[in-house]
Amino acid sequence: MTSNARAPNALPRRLRHFIDGEFVDAEASFANVSPVDGRELSRVAEADAVAVDAAIQAARRAQQGPWRRMRAPERADWLQRIADGIEARFDDFVAAEVADTGRPIAQARSLDVTRGIANFRTFADLVRTAPGEFFETSTPDGDMLNYVTRKPLGVVGVISPWNLPLLLFTWKVAPALAMGNCVVAKPSEETPTSATLLAEVMRDIGLPPGVFNLIHGHGANAAGEWLTKHPGVDAITFTGESKTGSAIMKAVADGVKNVSFELGGKNAAVVFADADFDAAVDGVLRSSFTNAGQVCLCSERVYVERPLFERFVAALKARTEALRVGSPYEAGTTTGPLISQGHRNKVLGYFRLAVEEGATVVTGGGVPRFGNACDDGAFVEPTIWTDLPDDARCVTEEIFGPVCHIAPFDDEDEVVRRVNDSAYGLAASVWTTSLSRAHRVAPQIETGIVWVNAWFVRDLRTPFGGAKQSGFGREGGRHSMDFYSELTTVCVKVA
């Protein structure tokens, strides 16, 4: 094991709720299990309806206090203190992410924890420097000055997923706090540790009680459902599966609550014959297999212009077979496990289905064997398919594992049509050296973000979100500020 992360047994063995500034235990608990070797990492408090209500009531009390009236620069200072607190415990957060997800240590250091810090710093800077809106108008009633004020929504329920736990958790908590809201947050039951460490940071810096509350538990008929249905919650922000988003939408309908959803994807990568070949192969390798394919932005559909097709498949096969699957605590590991045995069973089900649907398995398609404790983990082989029709379930349904299907295409119109022929619309990447083609194709693709000759690069000031069944609403920069605040226009007669 490297010296940059603590062993899992050095992390907290009991993970509790954080309500009204205090850690609170519960009678019921569940196991947090390592996806690397199946060991129990910790016991996690299971919130009942009473605990969920207590967290929401604490948030409502705090919302009526000084936090709501605090000026933006003061809230920005608090966000900077939170970022400093994460940074001071950087290795602890790395250890938590690696233990819960099994991702390689280098990724947890360079992406997950670094981005968690950046989320708080970015929104601290944005709220401190956000421009106002002022308009002068002359009317028959006199000269008017119009300006726009932002007020917090109130109590925001945050429900975050397991694939990038700290990154996506802080992506929602940071702007919610920046705009003066109080938060009740539920991390995924699969990855509860880094959220608990964040609650420790909130306590240690002296964040006012009730401003940030954390509850652990499951979704349906449990903490997640009780949070979304509670009348004391003013808005819900959720990242996760599309079917869960649909259930949340139904739960909040009667209360007409604000919602922001970032849901599933069946993302495409398009490689034109004029692409920088090596860059495209490297890019698709990353976009298909980063975090064992468990990123909502990963490419599960790859379209390659026909003159390049066979060469591209061979090159990606070679690069994929060079990936090193194994324990994140071993030097050289590039690819960790899936999040759980249950998720592995789902992915292996698609591996079997692909063969039934007529796929050619270029590489992978099975379960690696290690001859050690990792054989009890949730590993699968990185997998490439070809020869499936566009309407095959393995080409249309989100798998969320280390897999891609590669298909040839002949012209721009064809590939744009095939990329858009999807129930999802989250992300896409286009690989070409033609600037005119890039600007011509990218706007035609029906997704929330299109990368050209890149993947997974984010300016946190830009809007992010999906179309179709990939969600609605946008977060990032002023778009997050818009979602997490209520706008009021003030019109003053000045003459």
Is 465 part of a structural domain of the chain? no
- The answer to whether residue 435 scores a pLDDT higher than 50 is yes
Are 253 and 279 contained in the same domain? no
Mean pLDDT of 324-337: 96
Are 310 and 283 contained in the same domain? yes
User: What pLDDT score was predicted for residue 269?
Assistant: 98
When pLDDT is cut at 50, 70 and 90, the band that residue 149 belongs to is very high
Closest of 185, 206, 210 to residue 65, by C-alpha:
210
Tens of pLDDT, residues 407-416: 999 999 999 9
The answer to whether 262 is a known catalytic residue is yes
- Cα distance between residue 312 and residue 302, in whole Å: 10
Are 212 and 314 contained in the same domain? no
- The answer to whether residue 420 scores a pLDDT higher than 80 is yes
Mean pLDDT of 320-339: 96
All residues at 6 or more sequence positions from 432 whose CB lies less than 8 Å from its CB, including other chains: 272, 274, 275, 438, 441, 452, 453
For the chain, give the mean pLDDT: 95
User: What pLDDT score was predicted for residue 131?
Assistant: 86
Mean pLDDT of 172-192: 98
Is 3 part of a structural domain of the chain? no
SS3 of residue 179 by DSSP:
coil
- The answer to whether residue 4 scores a pLDDT higher than 50 is no
Compute CA 186 distance to the chain's CA centroid, rounded to the nearest angstrom.
Answer: 14
Catalytic site residue from 189, 190, 225, 296: 296
Residue 274, number of CB atoms within 10 A of its CB:
14
Is 161 part of a structural domain of the chain? yes
Is 464 part of a structural domain of the chain? no
- The answer to whether residue 30 scores a pLDDT higher than 80 is yes
Do residues 163 and 151 lie in contact, with contact meaning Cβ atoms separated by under 8 Å? no
Q: Residue 257 has which token pair?
A: 């609550």
Is 245 part of a structural domain of the chain? yes
Length of the chain: 495
User: What pLDDT score was predicted for residue 1?
Assistant: 30
Are 290 and 164 contained in the same domain? no
User: What pLDDT score was predicted for residue 97?
Assistant: 98
- The answer to whether residue 452 scores a pLDDT higher than 70 is yes
Closest of 141, 135, 429, 54 to residue 275, by C-alpha:
429
Are 453 and 478 contained in the same domain? no
Are 275 and 366 contained in the same domain? yes
CATH number of the domain residue 259 falls in: 3.40.605.10
490 DSSP β-pair partners: 147
In which domain, by residue range, is 353 found?
267-459
347-351-352 Cα angle (round to 5): 120
Are 422 and 369 contained in the same domain? yes
**Residue in the structure block whose two tokens are 């309500």:** 19
When pLDDT is cut at 50, 70 and 90, the band that residue 5 belongs to is very low
All residues at 6 or more sequence positions from 176 whose CB lies less than 8 Å from its CB, including other chains: 156, 158, 183, 237, 484
When pLDDT is cut at 50, 70 and 90, the band that residue 9 belongs to is low
**Residue in the structure block whose two tokens are 């992390």:** 11
Please report, in angstroms and rounded to a whole number, the separation of the first and last CA atoms in the chain.
72
- The answer to whether residue 204 scores a pLDDT higher than 80 is yes
Are 275 and 256 contained in the same domain? no
Mean pLDDT of 221-247: 93
Tens of pLDDT, residues 72-125: 999 999 999 999 999 999 999 999 999 999 999 999 999 999 999 999 999 999
Q: Which stretch of 43-47, 148-152, 400-404 has the lowest confidence by average pLDDT?
A: 148-152
Number of structural domains found in the chain: 2
When pLDDT is cut at 50, 70 and 90, the band that residue 447 belongs to is very high
The pTM for the full model equals 0.94
Is 1 part of a structural domain of the chain? no
SS3 of residue 435 by DSSP:
helix
Give the whole-number percent of the chain exceeding pLDDT 90.
91
Are 27 and 111 contained in the same domain? yes
Is 136 part of a structural domain of the chain? yes
User: What pLDDT score was predicted for residue 253?
Assistant: 82
- Cα distance between residue 334 and residue 290, in whole Å: 8
Are 209 and 222 contained in the same domain? yes
User: What pLDDT score was predicted for residue 373?
Assistant: 96
Are 203 and 349 contained in the same domain? no
Is 31 part of a structural domain of the chain? yes
Are 215 and 348 contained in the same domain? no
CATH number of the domain residue 364 falls in: 3.40.309.10
User: What pLDDT score was predicted for residue 8?
Assistant: 57
- Cα distance between residue 230 and residue 58, in whole Å: 13
Give per-residue burial for 381-420: e unless 16+ CB within 10 Å, then b.
bbbbbbebeeebebbbebbbbbbbbbbbbeebeebbebbb
- The answer to whether residue 3 scores a pLDDT higher than 90 is no
User: What pLDDT score was predicted for residue 254?
Assistant: 81
Tens of pLDDT, residues 239-273: 998 888 888 888 888 888 889 999 999 999 999 99
The answer to whether 74 is a known catalytic residue is no
Catalytic site residue from 46, 190, 262, 305: 262
202-110-465 Cα angle (round to 5): 75
